[in-house]
């Protein structure tokens, strides 16, 4: 199996590292900055005998190296700076993604596309529009990351292993995301029985602000360890046909009462990409919040379409 990772910055390079060292796929790492992808790929290749894997990884500036890719992960674009929202990146990253997808489709037209570039739900919309691929084969990595943050914060609060926390975050990848507190559990116990409502609301808000909190701390970059782990889990489920259920930004066409909008919902990921969109029962408040989140995505897409003409 072969994966192309577009963008050799922190997210892209760490994703490439996780893919080869996890023995998931061979990797082609591509970046427009001369020497960046080639240098990082060579460094990772030299680590292989120490880590103990036989995967191949090479890097370059030409998209021709993506030929034959089963999956393409797009991380390229400018990162947020303190005080910026994900939507502030719209025009710059929208144009970057448009060019990348055109290049990829010319050499790897059958690849499944996974978007990581922000604003995530909008760039995924752009990728589908440019590629002409069906919705099963174009998706965005956001729900896996937002869910991991929610689980981590619950684990920190309760002093338990975050891996024991079962939870899910739906909606757009932004301030309108919808952490599902009503169905979250720890070892089967509802978190609503373990955390008082006011404190739980603070944890939910911290989840929404999870990326901004890291941007504020780093000052010169944004998160990359958790995002790369999220996209690696998605790629692994697809290439190994594991059919894992996880929240993914996917085009809804009537599911959850939402039409023609990319938002994060639980899906089954397998060899065909999105094998099934799973509709879970939501409370009235959660359902209203999900629809509001979808409306924000629609408004941002409309802004892109208006400004990019």
Catalytic residues: 173
Give exposure, 212-245, as e/b (b: 16+ Cβ within 10 Å). bebbeebeeebbbebbbebbbbbbbbbbeeeeeb
Asked if 111 and 133 count as a contact pair (C-beta separation under 8 A), the reply is no
Q: What is the distance between the alpha carbons of residues 30 and 37, in angstroms, rounded to a whole number?
A: 5
CB neighbour list of residue 44: distance below 8 Å, 6 or more residues apart:
13, 16, 17, 20, 21, 57
What sign does the CA torsion over 184, 186, 187, 190 have?
A: negative
Asked if 121 and 142 count as a contact pair (C-beta separation under 8 A), the reply is yes
H or E element at residue 140: strand 138-140
Q: CA-CA-CA-CA torsion for 115, 117, 122, 126, nearest 10 degrees?
A: -60
Spatial CA neighbour of 233 closest among 218, 223, 243, 221: 243
């Amino acid at each position: 199996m072969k994966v192309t990772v577009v963008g050799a910055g922190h997210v892209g390079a760490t994703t490439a590292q996780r893919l080869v060292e996890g023995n998931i796929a061979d990797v082609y790492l591509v970046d427009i900055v001369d020497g960046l992808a080639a240098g990082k790929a060579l460094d990772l290749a030299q680590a292989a005998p120490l880590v103990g894997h036989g995967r191949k990884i090479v890097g370059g500036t030409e998209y021709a190296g993506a030929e034959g890719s089963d999956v393409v992960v797009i991380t390229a674009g400018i990162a947020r700076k303190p005080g910026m929202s994900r939507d502030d990146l719209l025009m710059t990253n929208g144009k970057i993604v448009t060019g990348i997808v055109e290049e990829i489709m010319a050499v790897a037209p059958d690849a499944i596309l996974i978007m990581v570039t922000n604003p995530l739900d909008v760039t995924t919309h752009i990728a589908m529009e440019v590629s002409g691929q069906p919705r099963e084969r174009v998706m965005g990595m956001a729900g896996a990351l937002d869910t991991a943050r929610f689980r981590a914060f619950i684990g920190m609060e309760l002093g338990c292993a975050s891996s024991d926390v079962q939870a899910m975050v739906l909606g757009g990848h932004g301030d309108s995301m919808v952490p599902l507190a009503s169905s979250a559990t720890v070892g089967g116990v509802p978190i609503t029985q373990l955390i008082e409502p006011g404190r739980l609301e603070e944890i939910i808000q911290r989840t929404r602000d999870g990326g901004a909190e890291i941007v504020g701390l780093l000052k010169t970059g944004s998160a990359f360890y958790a995002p790369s782990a999220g996209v690696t889990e998605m790629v692994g489920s697809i290439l190994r046909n594991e059919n894992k259920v996880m929240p993914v930004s996917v085009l809804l066409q009537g599911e959850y009462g939402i039409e023609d909008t990319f938002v994060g919902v639980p899906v089954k990921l397998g060899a065909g990409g999105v094998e099934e969109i799973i509709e879970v029962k939501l409370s009235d408040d959660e359902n209203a919040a999900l629809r509001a989140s979808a409306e924000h995505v629609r408004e941002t897409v409309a802004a892109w379409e208006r400004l990019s003409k």
